[in-house]
Structure 1
Amino acid sequence: MSFQEVRYRPAFGRILAVVTVVVCALGAIGLVVADPAAALRYVWPILLVGVLAWALFWRPGLLVQEHGITVENVLRTLFVPWPSIVSIETRYSLTLHTAHGRVAVWAAPAPSRHRTLGLAPKDFDGIGDSARGELGELRPADAVTTPTGNLAQLIRGHWERLRDAGAFASGVDPEAATVTWHWATITAVAALAAATVIGLLV
């Protein structure tokens, strides 16, 4: 049976990114048309907000693959092979504890307290033992009816099956995990931030 890849990007975040970018684009165009001279000074913070909205809300995502998990965060993308994973938790966000450190998934923050009100025992059905604390407790964010808990359970389920089948017996390959920095995004944000400061001070 072939492995079914799962890609997750939060819909609300993408909608927020689109709305913000559109508003920023309209604001920048309006400023250029109304006062081109002033636009040279004041258009940069508008562009900065648009780029930040794209980086913060559009880019983050999670791809669960046969050989590991790709976590696309704001400033970098990380590939985590299954054998590197030590545990999965949901305290502040979906977080992979690995042999090389913690990898927080920006696209899957823990749900708000309002979202977890009214959870029932059935919302935690099927959660594996690796999700439980020392006393067998579970966090509200582990509920499979929340996006974070659902993703955590998906990852735990496959990780536990591989572990129990002895797939990790050969140990962790230190070269398998990779990190790719988003230098274009970092450069664009730094340049626009500098232009904003200069435009407002000059």
Structure 2
Amino acid sequence: MPPVEEETVVFRSRFNRILAAVFWVVCAAALVAIGLTYAYRPTGSVAGLAVGSVLIGVAVLVVLWRPQLTVSDDAIVVRNVLSTIVVPWNALIHVDTKYALTLITPQRKVAVWCAPAPGATAALRASRAQGTQARAWTAASDLRPGDLAGTESGRAAFLVRSRWNTLREQGRIELGTAGDQRVQVQPHVASIAGLVAGVVAVALVTILL
């Protein structure tokens, strides 16, 4: 009987998306204020501020909204700010959460932008939410505060580790082949070009108008 295919799971940072929405509201309000100001005083600096507000909105989309982690039976796909990295399960040798969820292979370490490890305050809050048993379990093991289920890195790490364990139990991961596996990196050319063009546009508008 063939193994049952698990569903594809997409993880995104709730905090980052809330922060992105706040930035967009601020940028929209700034554009309205700048538009009213420009109507009475059409100067290069005001126009530059308008372009800058649009640039900030685009940067927020690229940096905070778009990054995500996709976990499927085929591979782990990490969409970061400047690139998308495809990590085959056969290449994975360790999952760490020291600074962010990090997928470790023989060739490289892949930090997951949308799953940062918590700071000291956030880790303490997550530990308290899970009770004394969770704190003792973390202290007595080699797990980090970033592994706590109440943190974004912890939730993302659980998705990866649970699927990894399932695939190993089903015999779908070839042991001893990690060094032969290729991690694919696909640069986000459009995002990089857009951010660079935006910075240049702000400079030119400010100087020329």
Structure-1-length-normalised TM-score: 0.82
Q: What is the distance in 2 between the residues matched to 1:121 and 1:4? A: 33
User: Which residue in the other structure is 1:123 paired with?
Assistant: 134
Q: Deviations over 1:73-116 (max 9, x none)?
A: 11111111101111100000000011320110000000121122
Offset at residue 65 of structure 1 (A): 0.6
Size of the alignment, in residue pairs? 195
User: Which residue in the other structure is 1:200 paired with?
Assistant: 206
Structure 2 residue runs without a partner (length 5+): none
How much is the aligned-residue C-alpha RMSD, in angstroms?
2.7
Structure-2-length-normalised TM-score: 0.80
Q: What is the distance in 2 between the residues matched to 1:163 and 1:73? A: 27
Q: Deviations over 1:145-199 (max 9, x none)?
A: 3231232133123323434536214724545x32222112111110111122233
SS in 2 for 1:103: strand
- Specify which of 82, 85, 89 is matched with residue 78 of structure 1: 85
User: Which residue in the other structure is 1:178 paired with?
Assistant: 184
Q: What is the distance in 2 between the residues matched to 1:85 and 1:163? A: 11
Identity of aligned residues (%): 32
User: Which residue in the other structure is 1:142 paired with?
Assistant: 147
Q: What is the distance in 2 between the residues matched to 1:144 and 1:161? A: 19
Contact 2:73 2:163 in 1 (8 A): no
Higher percent of residues as helix: 2
- Specify which of 85, 93, 99 is matched with residue 100 of structure 2: 93
5 Å-filtered alignment, 1:31-46, equals: 31-35=34-38, 37-38=42-43, 39-46=46-53
Structure 1 residue runs without a partner (length 5+): none
Q: What is the distance in 1 between the residues matched to 2:157 and 2:190? A: 30
Partner letter of residue 115 of structure 1? Answer: A
Q: What is the distance in 2 between the residues matched to 1:53 and 1:95? A: 23
Runs (4+) of structure 1 moved beyond 6 Å? 124-127
Structure of higher RCO (CA pairs closer than 8 Å, 6+ residues apart)? 2
